[in-house]
Amino acid sequence: MPVTVQNLVHSISQLNRNIDYNYASDRTRTRVRIHDVAMPNGPITIKRYNPTKGQRLVDAAPETISTNMLARLAAAISERTPINVDRLFGGSYNTRSALEALVANTPNFWICYPGRLEMSEGGKSVVRRGHKHIIQLTEAHPQGEIHETEVDMVISESLIPKDVVYEGLDLANGVLEEGMDIDVARRHAQIQVAILKIGRQLGLDTWIAQNDHGIIYDGRRLIEQPGTIQRLADQRILAAFPDAAHAARLIDAVWFRDGMSMPAVIEVEHSTGITTGLTRMKGFKDKLPALAGVRWVIAADEELRELAIREANRPQFRDLDARFISYGAVEELFSLCERRKIRGVTDDFLDSFMERLVQ
């Protein structure tokens, strides 16, 4: 039988409202408690808090899991088919992880990690442990507990789109940091190229980090590519703030529109770099006056999303209101630009590929 909003709400309503529930990830210390359930279609009101940060349930403000949100999840559920909740909701709904947690605590929903098929540009493929999904099964586990099940399936969601090609990418001498893995450096450069080409298609000029100017792409250095900014200080928005231009020189990518606005400041990061990237963006932001419409963005592999959430919510970074864009989302947007030559979109269009990290 198809899952409906009504039976999804009913299942959650059976959970004990006097206890706190864990999130589906062991690394998330936030706890969620059901405050109220409006039958039969929702919404569901919750409270959540993180005791490791000194937060208390009594101080938590009520938050809403809307009927629309419940309907979107219900429509996506099919028995024995894994669902990536983060991918389903994209950057929408800041209570999606809480909804995932409550659903996973009901008896017929389990956590699973389907294999993830990764393919290199050379055509080689490898199956790795994939991202967290929920799956509905006829088999039941105890109510109020989260259980994991093995699934014998592979999801190709992380495949590079066939029209995303990084032509003639060459990491020139001096680009690699000491001890940096060559594959990590190459992936970093690929995402910078994708961001540069997306910007060009959307009518934006792109600053590429000073220490990456020498990367060769399609026979030319990145600093020589069309749409690449030669000097940060030439951007009118920064002209009166030389300290800001200096602070931004090593940021991986910054999008400018006509030198007068900055739709996005982007750090491309790996596991050891999330904090470094946030620190660099924070240093840049602090040298500027308050500017509207700037997105402070971490671009990283999807598996680093929870680390990015944790770091972005540290007190020293919260005023960035940082966003997250996965490598897959970058390449999805890159592919769309390459195939459809999109143009004339507003900056809000970018938000559909990014997720707010501050909770």
Q: For residue 271, what pLDDT is reported?
A: 63
Q: How far apart are CA 208 and CA 282, in angstroms?
A: 18
Q: Are strands 63-65 and 44-49 parallel, antiparallel or unpaired?
A: antiparallel
Backbone angles phi, psi at 16, to 5 degrees: -65, 125
Q: For residue 153, what pLDDT is reported?
A: 79
Confirm if 255 and 205 have CB atoms less than 8 A apart: yes
Nearest to 199 by CA among 240, 161, 146, 256: 256
Q: For residue 65, what pLDDT is reported?
A: 93
Q: For residue 179, what pLDDT is reported?
A: 57
Q: How far apart are CA 123 and CA 117, in angstroms?
A: 12
Q: What is the CA radius of gyration of the chain?
A: 22
Q: How far apart are CA 118 and CA 239, in angstroms?
A: 44
CA distances from 113 to 25, 28, 275, 326 (A): 12, 17, 27, 18
Count how many residues are written for the chain: 359
Give the containing element (helix H, strand E) for 67.
helix 67-76
Q: Which residues pair with 228 in a beta bridge?
A: 206
Positive or negative, the CA dihedral 52, 266, 339, 188 is negative
Confirm if 270 and 300 have CB atoms less than 8 A apart: yes
Alpha helix segments (H runs only) across 120-203: 182-201
Domain boundaries, the chain: 5-155, 182-356
Q: For residue 90, what pLDDT is reported?
A: 63
Q: Are strands 21-22 and 44-49 parallel, antiparallel or unpaired?
A: unpaired
Q: Which residues pair with 129 in a beta bridge?
A: 115
Q: For residue 290, what pLDDT is reported?
A: 87
Spans of the chain below 50 pLDDT: 157-160, 162
Backbone angles phi, psi at 176, to 5 degrees: -70, 130
Confirm if 299 and 191 have CB atoms less than 8 A apart: yes
pLDDT digits (tens, 9 = 90+) for 16-34: 999 999 998 877 889 999 9
